[in-house]
């Protein structure tokens, strides 16, 4: 048995939690749109062709904001192709995924779907084959009230009210040689600046994210962020970070180290932003948008990304997630929450089928992958302020990271309803862990609201259509509360969410 301590104080706050940290991503790729969120003719499809089972799971997932329409797809996309009468829309070859795009689903369909899914939309503008002019026109089509050619065109298309899309990505992964019209940092920095400038003139209320690095291992990492921001610091609000975790070493102990690498990545990018700010003697802080993150390695080969013959919506990168992947996703969420002062937006990539927490069969069922659960639990209970927690725990060393504490945790306090939630990962593969949690100043008389654990003795266990609940949350009965102290026993290799509440009499 391992012993660990976790201490928080009501007055030591990292930040208010921005709920946009629980974002996801819908790209025109594989079966994410077609056969995922949109499948006219499916038994659960509504009058708009949206799958009802996927909509229901999307709501249950608790995702708050969704990035659309790509991804690599964005860099070759003409937004005009996806609006107006569906039977007049062009069929195109998509050079990102070598697929045929029918454009039967586009901006207005996504907006309609967003409302039904109860999520905020987050759009990208194409800075690959297009540029500032297209971007400002697209924004005018979406957000302008009326009385201009493009806003009136939207009305003609049946959308009287502006879509009022607040968050915009200035391109996608422009540092990657795989990107359609990849750019150097100098080229992209200039384009991002000028695009941001004209977009703000069209709608001063929007928030803009410049592309950061596609991965921490990119050869241009660090200098890319610095050079890009050196151009557009004053015009953008966010810089993006993308990361996909892998367990190529097939060692869970090594795998847990990627969570520490994410924490380092976040802190490094924040430091680079601040260095550019310092050079300008600016009071402005650039925030981080981790707008693509997930586990992705089992289907990371070229044959998983391209199907010959330009098919429509072929199955691409349909990664099947196991228990250990779910623990990594849970750990990554803890890392983001502990950096909530800088990470204000994050998107688990993607939502359905394509490296998705939701899996469907075209014409058939939909089910929850293992990674669905840590995300849904964190989103359901992640409201309020993230507290600065101090953890005392044994650690181990791995090749991925030199010091990996077995206990990895975050604490979120919600003054609105008096609850405090501990989210904790036990990274020991063999030992249970008894954690003593000290909730200083948060009310001496506490009651347990729930204690939920995600654990399976087989780290390779997966959820399938036939057995969709193999890896699923269960109640943890090993919790005792005594005044401001709570003791909880965590199973080895488990992700845990425990919420307690101060009773009115004991409220501090
Ligand atoms: O999410 C899949 C792809 O990964 C995205 O299209 C791209 O931005 C990233 O490289």
Mean pLDDT of 384-389: 98
65 lines ligand 1 (CB under 6 A): no
Position 507 pLDDT exceeds 60: no
How far, in Å, CA of 35 to CA of 54, rounded? 10
- Let me know if 260 is a catalytic residue: no
240 lines ligand 1 (CB under 6 A): no
The predicted structure's pLDDT at residue 505? 59
Confidence tier at 444 by pLDDT (50, 70, 90): confident
How far, in Å, CA of 164 to CA of 139, rounded? 9
Residue-wise pLDDT tens digits, 188-232: 999 999 999 999 999 999 999 999 999 999 999 999 999 999 999
327's CB contacts (< 8 A; 6+ apart) are: 252, 256, 374, 425, 427, 454, 459, 493, 494, 495
Q: Is the pTM of this model over 0.95?
A: yes
Largest distance between two CA atoms of the chain: 69
Catalytic entry in 80, 292, 319, 324: 292
The predicted structure's pLDDT at residue 443? 87
Residue-wise pLDDT tens digits, 180-189: 999 999 999 9
Position 506 pLDDT exceeds 60: no
Residue-wise pLDDT tens digits, 229-257: 999 999 999 999 999 999 999 999 999 99
* Token pair 């924040």: residue: 270
Position 172 pLDDT exceeds 60: yes
291 lines ligand 1 (CB under 6 A): no
Q: Which two tokens stand for residue 384?
A: 């309020």
Backbone φ, ψ for residue 346 (5° rounding): -150, 145
CA-nearest residue for atom 8, ligand 1, is 71
Judging by DSSP bridges, how do beta strands 207-210 and 120-125 pair with one another?
A: unpaired
The predicted structure's pLDDT at residue 306? 96
Kindly give the distance from the C-alpha atom of residue 311 to the centroid of ligand 1, in angstroms, as a whole number: 19
Kindly give the distance from the C-alpha atom of residue 73 to the centroid of ligand 1, in angstroms, as a whole number: 8
Catalytic entry in 39, 80, 173, 235: 173
Over the chain, what is the mean pLDDT? 97
Residue-wise pLDDT tens digits, 390-405: 999 999 999 999 999 9
Task: Check: CB of residue 32 under 8 Å from CB of residue 99.
Answer: no
Q: Which atom of ligand 1 is nearest the CA belonging to 178?
A: 10
Kindly give the distance from the C-alpha atom of residue 131 to the centroid of ligand 1, in angstroms, as a whole number: 20
End-to-end CA distance of the chain: 33
How far, in Å, CA of 258 to CA of 32, rounded? 26
Kindly give the distance from the C-alpha atom of residue 318 to the centroid of ligand 1, in angstroms, as a whole number: 13
328's CB contacts (< 8 A; 6+ apart) are: 245, 247, 255, 256, 258, 259, 295
Position 508 pLDDT exceeds 50: no
Kindly give the distance from the C-alpha atom of residue 371 to the centroid of ligand 1, in angstroms, as a whole number: 18
The predicted structure's pLDDT at residue 193? 98
How far, in Å, CA of 109 to CA of 56, rounded? 17
Residue-wise pLDDT tens digits, 82-114: 999 999 999 999 999 999 999 999 999 999 999
213 lines ligand 1 (CB under 6 A): no
- Let me know if 292 is a catalytic residue: yes
172 lines ligand 1 (CB under 6 A): yes
Confidence tier at 337 by pLDDT (50, 70, 90): very high
The percent of residues above 70 in pLDDT, for the chain, comes to 99
How far, in Å, CA of 441 to CA of 418, rounded? 12
């Amino acid at each position: 048995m391992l012993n660990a301590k976790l201490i928080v104080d009501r007055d030591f706050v990292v930040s208010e939690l921005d709920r946009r940290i629980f974002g996801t991503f819908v790209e025109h790729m594989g079966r994410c749109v077609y056969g995922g969120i949109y499948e006219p003719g499916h038994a659960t499809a509504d009058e708009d062709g949206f799958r009802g089972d996927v909509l229901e799971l999307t709501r249950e997932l608790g995702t708050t904001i969704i990035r659309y329409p790509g991804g690599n797809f964005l860099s070759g996309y003409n937004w005009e192709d996806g609006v107006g009468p569906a039977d007049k829309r062009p069929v195109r070859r998509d050079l990102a995924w070598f697929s045929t795009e029918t454009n039967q689903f586009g901006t207005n369909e996504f907006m309609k779907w967003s409302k039904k899914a109860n999520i905020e939309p987050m759009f990208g503008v194409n800075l690959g084959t297009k540029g500032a002019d297209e971007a400002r026109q697209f924004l005018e089509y979406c957000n302008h009230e009326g009385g201009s050619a493009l806003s009136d065109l939207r009305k003609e298309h049946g959308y009287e009210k502006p879509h009022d899309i607040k968050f915009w990505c200035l391109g996608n992964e422009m540092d990657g040689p795989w990107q359609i019209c990849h750019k150097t940092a100098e080229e992209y920095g200039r384009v991002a600046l000028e695009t941001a400038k004209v977009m703000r003139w069209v709608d001063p209320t929007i928030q803009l994210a410049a592309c950061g690095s596609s991965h921490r291992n990119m050869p241009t990492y660090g200098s890319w962020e610095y050079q890009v921001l050196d151009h557009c610091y004053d015009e953008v609000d966010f810089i993006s970070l993308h990361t996909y975790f892998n367990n190529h070493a097939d060692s869970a102990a090594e795998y847990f180290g990627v969570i520490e690498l994410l924490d380092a990545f976040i802190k490094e990018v924040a430091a680079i932003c601040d260095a550019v700010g310092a050079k300008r003697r600016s009071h402005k802080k650039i925030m981080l948008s981790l707008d693509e993150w997930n586990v992705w390695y089992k289907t990371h080969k070229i044959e998983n990304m391209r199907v010959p013959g330009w098919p429509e919506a072929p199955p691409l990168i349909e990664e099947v997630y196991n228990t250990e992947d779910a623990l990594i996703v849970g750990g990554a969420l803890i890392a983001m929450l502990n950096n909530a002062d800088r990470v204000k937006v994050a998107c688990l990539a993607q939502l359905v089928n394509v490296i998705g927490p939701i899996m469907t069969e075209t014409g058939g069922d939909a089910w929850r992958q293992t990674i669905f659960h840590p995300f849904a639990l964190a989103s359901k209970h992640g409201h309020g302020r993230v507290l600065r927690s101090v953890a005392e725990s044994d650690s181990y060393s791995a090749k991925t990271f030199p010091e990996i504490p077995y206990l990895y945790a975050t604490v979120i306090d919600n003054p609105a309803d008096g609850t405090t939630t501990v989210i904790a990962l036990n990274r020991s593969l063999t030992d249970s862990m008894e954690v003593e949690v000290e909730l200083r100043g948060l009310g001496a008389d506490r009651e347990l609201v729930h204690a939920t654990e995600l654990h399976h003795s087989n780290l390779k266990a997966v959820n399938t259509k036939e057995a969709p609940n193999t890896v699923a949350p269960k109640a943890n009965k090993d919790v005792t509360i005594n005044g401001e102290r709570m003791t909880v026993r965590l199973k080895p290799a488990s992700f845990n969410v425990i919420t307690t509440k101060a009773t009115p009499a004991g409220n501090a």
